[in-house]
Amino acid sequence: VELEAYLRKALERGEFTLLYQPQVELDGERLIGVEALIRWNCAELGLISPAQFIPVAEQTGLIRSIGHWVLEEACREAKRWEACGGGHVEISVNVSAGQFMQPDFVSRVRSILSSTGLAPQRLCLEITESMVVHNLQATLTMLQELAELGIRIAMDDFGTGYSSLSVIKQLPISTIKIDRSFMGDLTKEDADRSIVPAIISMSTTLGKKVVAEGVETSEQLQLLKRMGCDTAQGYYFSRPLTASALIRYFQYGV
């Protein structure tokens, strides 16, 4: 209750910031993208995790204005990287169901791209399986409109929901992100580790890029490389970075 009241004021008080977590191409270990992750430093409550406040934002409808701010801030920042060695870096932004389902979502995205000047090819929107499962036809139409703009779409947290192969195949998504809960299984017995190579081979067969999330050890990295995974993200490479730390990363590496 208290949290909701403070959340209502957070935007106007400027309490949100974005961190950016590097995504590394495994063939050569080059930085190719970053995921924007919101942080809220509430004057009264201190740091609150998005895992705590995003659900509240969803329930109250505040997700629309917060999500709009995230998208605009991320695109504005990504445009700035062109002047500091990060002009090729793709920006991935998490999109919530309540934000995605706004009737004017596509036109909002279009107007943010035009006001920030960011090339649509540099923007990737991360959606989740549950958004698709709950409203396949509407989602499909919107994703097609977004894809026509040149934006990329990623399926986030893949493997934790219920989307079938046939659904994945129909959607204009370019990337599948393997949920981080599967990374711990990689170093276990064969039966447990088989889910990750199964997702990798499925993605490859469908012509989609695959990103492993939550990579924490070099052992996991070596296994992922051997399994043919394209890209990875996780503490092994970097924690989420502030905007200025990311620019140093472009210039000097980790």
Give me the residues that bind Na ion (CB under 5 A), please: 156-157, 213
Q: Rounded distance, CA 56 to CA 62, Å?
A: 8
Task: Compute the Cα dihedral for 75, 80, 83, 84 and give only its sign.
Answer: negative
Burial of 105: CB neighbours in 10 Å, binned 0-12, 13-18, 19+: buried
Q: Rounded distance, CA 211 to CA 176, Å?
A: 6
Q: Which is nearer to Na ion, 73 or 213 (CB)?
A: 213
As measured in angstroms, the least distance from the Cβ of 95 to Na ion is 12
Return the residue of 49, 141, 144, 242 that touches ligand G, per CB under 6 A.
Answer: 49
Binding-site size, Mn ion (CB under 5 A):
3
Please identify the residue of the shown chain whose CB is closest to the bound Mn ion.
156
Stretch that binds ligand G, among 1-9, 47-55, 115-123, 221-229 (CB under 6 A): 47-55
Return the residue of 73, 126, 129, 179 that touches Mn ion, per CB under 5 A.
Answer: 126
Q: Rounded distance, CA 131 to CA 100, Å?
A: 9
Asked if residue 50 binds ligand G (CB under 6 A), the reply is yes
Stretch that binds Mn ion, among 43-51, 126-134, 193-201, 216-224 (CB under 5 A): 126-134
Which residues fall within 8 angstroms of residue 237, CB to CB, at 6 or more apart? 22, 24, 215, 254
As measured in angstroms, the least distance from the Cβ of 174 to ligand G is 17
Q: Under DSSP, is residue 58 helix (H, G, I), strand (E, B) or coil?
A: helix
Site string for ligand G, 75-114 (x = CB under 6 A): -------------------x-x------------------
Question: Residue 84 in contact with residue 250, Cβ under 8 Å?
Answer: yes
Burial of 131: CB neighbours in 10 Å, binned 0-12, 13-18, 19+: buried
Q: Which is nearer to Na ion, 90 or 156 (CB)?
A: 156
- Per partner kind, with CB cut-offs from 5 to 8 A, the member of ligand G, Mn ion, Na ion, none near residue 54 is ligand G
